[in-house]
Every structure is written in structure tokens, then in C-alpha cells.
Homo-oligomer: A and B are copies of this chain.
Amino acid sequence: MAFDRLIDNIIEKQNPTVAGLDPKLDYVPASIKDACFAQYGKTLEGAAAALLAFNKAIIDQIYDIVPAVKPQAAYYEMYGWQGVKALAETIAYARKKGMFVITDGKRNDIGTTMEAYATAHLGTTDVAGESIDAFGADALTVNGYLGTDGIKPLVQICKEKDKGIFVLVKTSNPSSGELQDMTLTNGASVYEQMGSMCERWGEELGGKYGYSGVGAVVGATYPEQLKEMREKAPHTFFLVPGYGAQGGGANDAKNAFDKNGLGAIINSSRGIMCAWKKQGLTEEDFAAAARAEALRMKEDILSVIGEIKA
């Protein structure tokens, strides 16, 4: 299953982290923007070209040390279809470099429509007999509010194409508890219920490390819930946002891992993309600064979980 490929990559690189690619135009150095605007004007096309050049430079600097990237769809949609084209090109570029690509789209819908999303992001689209990858990521984040119908088509494509999904369970934002922390009459919280649904949905997609192809998003900003869910969802691999810019530290993130240092991947987006600011460098050094931050983050996490063992 797909997360076996991801875990293989994590073990080989001894690095359980993923670089979030949520590029805002503000993060892109002036030299890149100026060149793109000179070629395409101050247009969505120009902006998209700048994002793509920025992403490629970061990928070039980290692909040998970081196992995965997570482009966030919203930051591409913000620049129209031209931005969405840059998303597709970013995915293709990162995969060519051997990285595992998680498209962060949090997609959700009824069954027939989820088939279309699953096809779009993880499968292949049929055009009059031609099979074409529309976006072709390795995994997609999804929202399980609609229940099993909305997840089944994804599980089917994950099985056929060796892909994975991450379902939102306990998100990293301040108000995530408004609904997710409420208690149901069966004694479980809403997020706990969602976690148990992930365990069930993953049954068909077992992997060699004990983790299924149905993962969960659980934020580092809620370390207690992270610890609880690690125990209650032992076959569910975690994608953990909230480290760094959102306030989570290595000791918080630690709760996501099992005793072998497996079971989770920790995301950092702004921390890596905007590393030059923190390191007191100029923006022209953004890519080297991103590499330095990726290495620092890896060491930070490994310092609390130790060696990652198969």
C-alpha cells in the first residue's frame, strides 16, 4: 500500500517530516517575481510561474533529505486555473525527484462526486479511451463528515493505484474543538469517532508496517489528543500539522509516533518556506535556508524519537 512507500522513504532518509508547499506570492524572492512578471505581466499566469519556480528551487534543495512534500491546494486555486496548473507541475516535478506527494485538498462529497475527486487527484482520467493523470499525487487529504459513501471511492482507487488518504480527525486550528471535541452519547468525542471510522475504512488497505492506506490528520497543537489517538487508532498513520509556525514543538509531535519511531509524518510549511527570515539571511538565500531548516527540523524530531526502525 501507498504508505509502505512513504514509510520506506522515511526509514531510508531517517526523516519523518514533510515539507508543506503553501506558497504565497509574498514568500517568493523579488528576483523570481520580477523575471516572471517581465515575461507574463502582473497576471495570474505570472504569479503561477513565480510559485512554480519557487517550489522547484525548494524541491531541488530538499529532495535528497526529505521524503515527502505537501502542496496545499488553496494557495494554488488562489491564482486561478493558472495556479492549479502550477500545482500539477509541482506534483509532477516532486514525484520525478522521488518524493512522495500529498495533495492537501481536504476534499469531500457524496459517493459519485467523490469518485470524480478520487480520479482527479489519485487516479487516471479516461478521455475517449486515453488514460491520463489529471494531478497524480500519491495521497490526498479528505474530510469524512459525509461518512462511508464519501470515502469508499477513494479506498477503491487507493487499492487499484497504490495510493493513500488522510482523513481529518483532530485538526490543528484553535477552534477545532468546537465540534470535534464535543462528546457523543456513546461516550466518544467527535474526533475519536472519526478516528475509529478511519480504523474501519483502512481494514481493506493493510500495509507491511501495520499501518493502513487510510491515515488521519491530527494536529501537534493538541498533544494530549495526539497521544490518545495514537493508542486508539493503532493502524492509522498520522499526518501531523501544527509544528513550528502554529506553535507545536518536537515534544508535542512525539506523541504521534509508535515505539519504533513510525506511525506519523510531521509537516512544516511556513517554517521551511520562510526559513531565510528566521536565519537572518536575505530572501535570495531562501532555498539554502529551507534545506538548513529541513535538517534542523529532522534533528529536532529525531532527538525525541530516536532512530526510526523498520
A interface vs B, CB < 8 Å?
Answer: 22, 24-25, 33, 37, 42-44, 46-47, 72, 74-75, 77-85, 87-88, 106-111, 113-114, 116-117, 119-121, 125-130, 132, 134-135, 143-150, 168, 171-180, 182-186, 190, 193-194, 197, 241, 246
Known interface pairs A74-B113, A78-B116. Does A149 touch B128 (Cβ–Cβ under 8 Å)?
no
State which of B22, B130, B144, B175 has its C-beta within 8 Å of the C-beta of A42: B130
Contact check, B179 vs A78: say whether CB atoms are below 8 A apart: no
Contact check, B120 vs A173: say whether CB atoms are below 8 A apart: no
State which of B85, B109, B179 has its C-beta within 8 Å of the C-beta of A74: B109
Minimum Cβ distance to chain B for residue A75 (Å): 5
Additional A-B contact list (17), CB under 8 Å, known A79-B127, A106-B107:
A43-B127, A46-B127, A74-B107, A77-B116, A77-B135, A80-B120, A80-B125, A80-B132, A81-B82, A83-B134, A84-B84, A108-B143, A143-B143, A146-B168, A146-B176, A182-B186, A183-B185
Within the assembled complex, what's the spacing in Å between the Cα atoms of A110 and B78?
15
Contact check, A145 vs B147: say whether CB atoms are below 8 A apart: no
Enumerate chain B residues within 8 angstroms of A183, measured Cβ to Cβ: 184-185
Contact check, A178 vs B109: say whether CB atoms are below 8 A apart: no
State which of B37, B87, B190 has its C-beta within 8 Å of the C-beta of A128: B37
- Copies assembled: 2
Enumerate chain B residues within 8 angstroms of A149, measured Cβ to Cβ: 173-176
Closest chain B residue, CB of each to CB of A270? B112
Contact check, B110 vs A108: say whether CB atoms are below 8 A apart: no
Minimum Cβ distance to chain B for residue A12 (Å): 30
**Which of A168, A171, A173 has its CB near the most chain B CB atoms (within 10 A)?**
A173
| List of 7 A-B pairs having minimum Cβ-Cβ separation, nearest first | A147-B178, A147-B175, A74-B116, A81-B85, A110-B173, A77-B120, A80-B134
Enumerate chain B residues within 8 angstroms of A134, measured Cβ to Cβ: 44, 77-80, 83
State which of B113, B178, B197 has its C-beta within 8 Å of the C-beta of A179: B197
Minimum Cβ distance to chain B for residue A3 (Å): 22
Enumerate chain B residues within 8 angstroms of A173, measured Cβ to Cβ: 110-111, 146-147, 149-150
Enumerate chain B residues within 8 angstroms of A178, measured Cβ to Cβ: 147-148, 197
| 14 A-B contact pairs sorted by A residue (CB < 8 Å) | A25-B126, A25-B128, A33-B128, A37-B128, A81-B82, A84-B84, A143-B143, A146-B180, A149-B176, A150-B175, A179-B194, A179-B197, A182-B190, A184-B184
Minimum Cβ distance to chain B for residue A63 (Å): 23
Minimum Cβ distance to chain B for residue A80 (Å): 4
Enumerate chain B residues within 8 angstroms of A197, measured Cβ to Cβ: 178-179
Enumerate chain B residues within 8 angstroms of A135, measured Cβ to Cβ: 77, 80
Enumerate chain B residues within 8 angstroms of A193, measured Cβ to Cβ: 179, 182
